[in-house]
Every structure is written in structure tokens, then in C-alpha cells.
């Protein structure tokens, strides 16, 4: 409870960031309750009502198969949250582990961090594209690929932060009182990294949305039948002159969500431990 209060205290006096947080809560709610909110089946074709304008009963209009755009957008929120949380999990667990271990065991670090350097020589989307060519188009693969792309930056950042903490007196004290490697790393160092990790997570979440949308657009992301905001844009882009609303709504949803996540991340970054402030790269 008190953790929640500290978190909410960050937003005191920050109107824009609070609005962002509220929007993210709405998206999360839509993601959880998608089948209850969506008025139509997002997969059902209605050939008679193809490309109909926004109004009743189709709030956001319909696409070229006659599927209800609003229902697809609601289910798209579900994909957005899944992609976001999934890539954050992959990036933080792989990248975090590599970064922490590399900083703690210096010799191992020389090897692991050079591997990270190699991956970092690829621009983000290019790395994602290359990895996607090796894998099949699916939700899990998209999450893994985006996660790996951001695992590299996470590893770098955590490497730096763990190195800083390793030199602190409390770590020496822990080692002197007989703490083993895993206990030093995970019970003494890791808890100090939780808040910067959360900030990093919020930025990965935001970037992952843009990457996933770009992959969808290039036809290398989620399978085309999956209702995601990126796929909605990608599929309907040839109808942009006939039915511009089909692109406005999913586009606005992506922008609003990424913007909100960045605002929340910024607010969180301003309130964390000043030692780590320079380590985290946001927007």
C-alpha cells in the first residue's frame, strides 16, 4: 500500500503525466475486459457494411472486410499491452542478468559485454528485421525479438549501475559478513536497482509499441489476422484516400499510448535516485 502511495506521489503537480497515467489505466482496462467492451466480434466480416464511416453502430467505422474498427481497436489494446509487457520482461530478464553478471564477475563481463557490443552495432529496427527473417511471424516471436533488441541497451545500463553499486560500502559489508555471490547480487545489489529498472521498463514499453507497429507495417511483425493497432494501419493503408478514418483511430491510439508512457517514464525518472539519473536513456 505504501509503495503505491509513493508511486502516486510522483504525479503530484504533474498534470500531463497524470493524464498519461489515466490513459494507460484505460488502455489496461480495455485490454483486460476486451470481450466485454467490444460491441462486435473483431474477426467477423460484414461485406455489406464495408468501409462504412464512423457512426452508429460502427463507432470507428469498418475496414475493407467490413470488420468493426472499434472492436478491433479494443482487442488491439490487448495486443499492445501483451507486446509491451512481454518485451519488457524479455529485455529486463535477459539484459538485466547479462548486465549485472558482467559487472559483478569482471572476467565473464569482458566476454558477455563484447557480445552485447556486437548486437548494439545494429540499428534497432534492422536487428529486429534480421531476427524476424529467421523466425516465423507470431505474437511470441515478435515479443522475443523486440525484447532482445532492448536487452542490449538494458544490459549496458545495468552494467554501469551495478559497477557503481559494487564499489559502495554496503556491498563490502555484505561480503565481509559472509554473503555469497548470489546473495550479494540479488539481495543487496538488485533491490537498489528496482526503481531505475522500473523507469527503464516504462521506456522499453513505449519504444516496443513503435517497433511493433513498424514491424507490422513492413509485414514482418504479428500475423496479419491478429487485431493489433499496427496491423490495422498496415492493412488499411491502401484505403487512406477513401477511408482516412481507418488510419486516424489506430494511429491516434498508438501515439497517445506511447506519449503517455513516455510522460509517466519521465516523471518517474525525475524522482529516482540521482546516482542513476544519467544512466537511463529515455526519449
Partner 1 sequence: MWLGNVIQGDLGTSVFFRKPVLSVIGDGAETSILLATMTMFWIVLFGIPIGILSATRHGTWVDQVTSGGAMLFASVPTFWLGLYLILIFSVGLGWFPSSGFPSLSDDGGVANLRYLILPSLTLAAPNAALIIRLVRASMLDVAREDHVRTARAKGLHPAKVAIRHVFRNALIAVAAAFGFTFAALVSEAVVTETVFSLPGIGRLVVQSILRRDYPVIQGVILVIVILYMVINLLVDLAYARLDPRVSLK
> 18 exposed, middle or buried (CB, 10 Å; 0-12, 13-18, 19+)?
middle
Kindly state the number of chain residues that form the binding site for partner 1, as judged by CB under 8 A: 35
Nearest to 63 by CA among 91, 42, 34: 42
Q: What 3-state class would DSSP assign to 62?
A: strand
Choose the stretch contacting partner 1; rule: CB under 8 A; options: 90-98, 125-133, 160-168, 176-184: 125-133
Choose the stretch contacting partner 1; rule: CB under 8 A; options: 97-105, 121-129, 175-183, 267-275: 121-129
Nearest to 269 by CA among 182, 157, 165: 157
- 259 near partner 1, rule: CB under 8 A: yes
**DSSP codes of every residue in 30-72:** HHHTHHHH-SS-TT---GGGTTPPSSSS-TT-B-TT--BHHHH
Q: Least distance to partner 1 from the beta carbon of 282, Å?
A: 9
Nearest to 207 by CA among 93, 34, 80, 118: 80
- 245 near partner 1, rule: CB under 8 A: no
Pick the closer one to partner 1 by CB: 13 or 167. 13
Q: Least distance to partner 1 from the beta carbon of 80, Å?
A: 12
Q: Which of 57, 180, 219, 224 binds partner 1 (CB under 8 A)?
A: 219
- 136 near partner 1, rule: CB under 8 A: no
- 255 near partner 1, rule: CB under 8 A: yes
CA distances from 204 to 26, 228, 281 (A): 20, 18, 10
Q: Which of residues 159-218 bind partner 1 (CB under 8 A)?
A: 206, 210, 213-214, 217-218
- 114 near partner 1, rule: CB under 8 A: no
Cβ atoms of 77 and 84 closer than 8 Å: no
Q: Which residues bind partner 1 (CB under 8 A)?
A: 16, 121-126, 129-130, 132-133, 206, 210, 213-214, 217-220, 230, 233, 237, 240-241, 244, 247, 251, 254-255, 258-259, 262-263, 266, 283
Amino acid at each position: 500500500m505504501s509503495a503505491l502511495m509513493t508511486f502516486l506521489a510522483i504525479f503530484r503537480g504533474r498534470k500531463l503525466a497524470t493524464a498519461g497515467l489515466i490513459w494507460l489505466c484505460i488502455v489496461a482496462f480495455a485490454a483486460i475486459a476486451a470481450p466485454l467492451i467490444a460491441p462486435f466480434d473483431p474477426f467477423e466480416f460484414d461485406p455489406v457494411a464495408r468501409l462504412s464511416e464512423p457512426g452508429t453502430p460502427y463507432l470507428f467505422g469498418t475496414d475493407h472486410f467490413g470488420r468493426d474498427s472499434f472492436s478491433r481497436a479494443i482487442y488491439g489494446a490487448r495486443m499492445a499491452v501483451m507486446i509491451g509487457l512481454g518485451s519488457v520482461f524479455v529485455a529486463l530478464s535477459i539484459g538485466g542478468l547479462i548486465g549485472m553478471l558482467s559487472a559483478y564477475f569482471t572476467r565473464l563481463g569482458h566476454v558477455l559485454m563484447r557480445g552485447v557490443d556486437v548486437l548494439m552495432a545494429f540499428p534497432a529496427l534492422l536487428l529486429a528485421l534480421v531476427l524476424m527473417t529467421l523466425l516465423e511471424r507470431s505474437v511470441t516471436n515478435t515479443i522475443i525479438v523486440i525484447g532482445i533488441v532492448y536487452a542490449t541497451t538494458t544490459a549496458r545500463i545495468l552494467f554501469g549501475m551495478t559497477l557503481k553499486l559494487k564499489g559502495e560500502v554496503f556491498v563490502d559489508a555484505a561480503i565481509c559478513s559472509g554473503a555469497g555471490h548470489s546473495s550479494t547480487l540479488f539481495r543487496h545489489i538488485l533491490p537498489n536497482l528496482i526503481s531505475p529498472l522500473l523507469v527503464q521498463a516504462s521506456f522499453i514499453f513505449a519504444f516496443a509499441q513503435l517497433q511493433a507497429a513498424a514491424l507490422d507495417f513492413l509485414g514482418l511483425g504479428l500475423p496479419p489476422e491478429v487485431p493489433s493497432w499496427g496491423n490495422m494501419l498496415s492493412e488499411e493503408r491502401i484505403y487512406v484516400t477513401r477511408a482516412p478514418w481507418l488510419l486516424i483511430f489506430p494511429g491516434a491510439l498508438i501515439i497517445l499510448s506511447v506519449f503517455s508512457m513516455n510522460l509517466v517514464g519521465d516523471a518517474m525518472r525525475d524522482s529516482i535516485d540521482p546516482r542513476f539519473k544519467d544512466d537511463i536513456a529515455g526519449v
